[in-house]
Amino acid sequence: MNRDDTPEAVRARLLRLFETAVAAAHPRSCLPPHLPAPPARGRLVILAAGKAAGAMTETAEHHYLDQLGWPADRLTGIAVTRHGYARPTRVVPVIEAGHPMPDAAGLAATERTLALADAAVADDLVLVLMSGGASANWIAPAHGLSLAEKQAVTRALLACGAAIGEINTVRKHLSRIKGGRLARHIHPARFVTLAISDVPGDDPATIGSGPTAPDPSTLDDARAVIARYRLDLPAAVERILRDPANETPKPGDPLFSDAEFRIVARPREAFQSVEAAVAAGGEACMFLGDSIEGEAREVAALHAALAAAVRREGRSAVILSGGELTVTVRGAGRGGPNQEYALALAVALAGTPGIAALAADTDGTDGGGGDPADPAGAFIDPATLSRARKIGLDPAVFLSDNDATGFFTRVGGLLTTGPTCTNINDFRAILVDRR
């Protein structure tokens, strides 16, 4: 690790790389070039949801009210974001709601969102601002499904190890807003969706469960996910997923004929900013991709083997990767995919000299209970395991209990950033020093 290789300096370098990725995807930098012209005659209706919703709405208000001089009485809307992620807007209210577990605040805010969509007329322009987290923030259970039952479905999906696309396939078919259904409420008004992508592949139908995008998945697909993971769900779920009336609008539906969908920030673009920063420092960079999925501990083992091989070959490098890892919860501990990855990486490296890493979620929270002060991720270095041994801790025990937060709380290494007001998903950087 070139220059100053003290643990503090190495962590500072890793943190700067993380902050570079976050800055590239922040709404104030990525949103303004994509904002559409306001309507000639009608109102501008902003409907926003997700972890970046507050910051996206704040940025949009500045653009239209301050830069374009758009009259405030022709602007309306509502934004729904995670607790702790609100921003100081002037016209469009920002409502804080539950994530990852939907709550009553999100339910009430979503009903207001649907009412505004229903009231839009042909002369209006509806601007939909989307980011990761919208699936939990916009919560409108299908008729016959209670909030408590929807929460039970969410809890089961998050714990079973399903990929984000599989989770959203089920959620879309149990909703009155997801899977293109918001578009039905907006029609006949014109709508433009601007999205910050947090999903592998940047699929519009997956970002926020695609409320304004046609949905290629089906009721059969949703039932297959439930069967694949042997989920024990409320009886109402089976009934809803057997009812053809709950199918989502598909590609080719006239609802989407005049719609625009633009992705304003992608994980790949954020990582390109990080790669440029690494190159500017004269270091070699290995980018493994921004769409990596799989069990956090299994991916960590693969990355540990790669990092160790690079060092054995006498090379130094910064190994970057993104995507969305999952955890199949079998223990009773606390943590998220990035913290579990970091713990598993430390175990696999077994104190190999010259290797340090950071794994964190770019939204500022990794797992946790929905508190904005939850950890974003964790650092590891060659001394992580020795620090654990000195205080009598067995990292394998914590890993088997899915208790990465408990481990790093006692050993040190948690990264707590607070809300970043954006979300392009996982960020992982491994520094390999050949010395």
Lowest mean pLDDT: which of 194-203, 250-259, 264-273, 364-373? 364-373
> The whole model's pTM is what?
0.92
The percent of residues above 70 in pLDDT, for the chain, comes to 99
Q: With a cut of 70, say whether residue 290 has pLDDT above it.
A: yes
CA distances from 323 to 11, 311, 360, 392 (A): 22, 24, 11, 34
Confidence of residue 3 (pLDDT cuts 50, 70, 90): low
User: Mean pLDDT throughout 387-411?
Assistant: 97
pLDDT of residue 102: 93
Residues 205-213: what's their mean pLDDT? 95
Q: Is the pLDDT of residue 431 over 50?
A: yes
Residues 304-350: pLDDT tens digits?
Answer: 999 999 999 999 999 999 999 999 999 999 999 999 999 999 999 99
Query: What pLDDT sits at residue 435?
Result: 78
- Bridge partners (DSSP) of residue 194 are 129, 262
Give me the phi and psi of 208, to 5 degrees please. Answer: 60, 25
CB atoms within 10 A of CB 65: 15
**Rounded distance between C-alpha atoms, residue 56 and residue 24, angstroms:** 14
Residue 31, CB-side half-sphere exposure with 13 Å CA sphere: 28
Q: Are 328 and 344 in contact (CB under 8 A)?
A: no
According to DSSP, the β-strands at 414-415 and 377-380 are antiparallel
pLDDT band (50, 70, 90) for residue 81: very high
Residue range 29-58, pLDDT digits in tens: 999 999 999 999 999 999 999 999 999 999
Q: Which of 91, 88, 93, 107 is nearest to 48 (CA)?
A: 93
7-24+268-432 CATH = 3.40.1480.10
Contact status, residue 216 vs residue 205, Cβ threshold 8 Å? yes
Residue 144 has pLDDT above 50, yes or no: yes
The 3-class secondary structure across the chain, one letter per residue, is CCCCCCHHHHHHHHHHHHHHHHHHCCHHHHCHHHCCCCCCCCCEEEEEECCCHHHHHHHHHHHHHHHCCCCHHHEEEEEEEECCCCCCCCCCCEEEECCCCCCHHHHHHHHHHHHHHHHCCCCCEEEEEECCCHHHHCCCECCCCCHHHHHHHHHHHHHCCCCHHHHHHHHHCCECCCCCHHHHHHCCCEEEEEEECCCCCCCCCCHHHCCCCCCCCCHHHHHHHHHHCCCCCCHHHHHHHCCHHHCCCCCCCHHHCCCEEEEEECHHHHHHHHHHHHHHCCCCEEECCCCEEEEHHHHHHHHHHHHHHHHHCCCCEEEEEEEEEECCCCCCCCCCHHHHHHHHHHHHHCCCCCEEEEEEECCCCCCCCCCCCCCCEEEECCCHHHHHHHCCCCHHHHHHCCCHHHHHHHHCCEECCCCCCCCCCEEEEEEECCC
**What pLDDT is stored for residue 2 in this prediction?**
46
The pLDDT of residue 164 is: 85
136, 199 in Cβ contact below 8 A? no
Parts of the chain belonging to CATH 3.40.1480.10: 7-24+268-432
Per-residue pLDDT for 411 more than 90? yes
Band of pLDDT at residue 1, cut at 50, 70 and 90: very low
- Cα 359 to Cα 427: distance, rounded to the nearest angstrom: 6
pLDDT for the residue numbered 369: 76
Task: Assign domain 31-265 one CATH number from 2.60.40.10, 3.40.50.460, 3.40.50.1370, 3.40.50.10180.
Answer: 3.40.50.10180
| Sequence ranges of the chain with CATH classification 3.40.50.10180 | 31-265
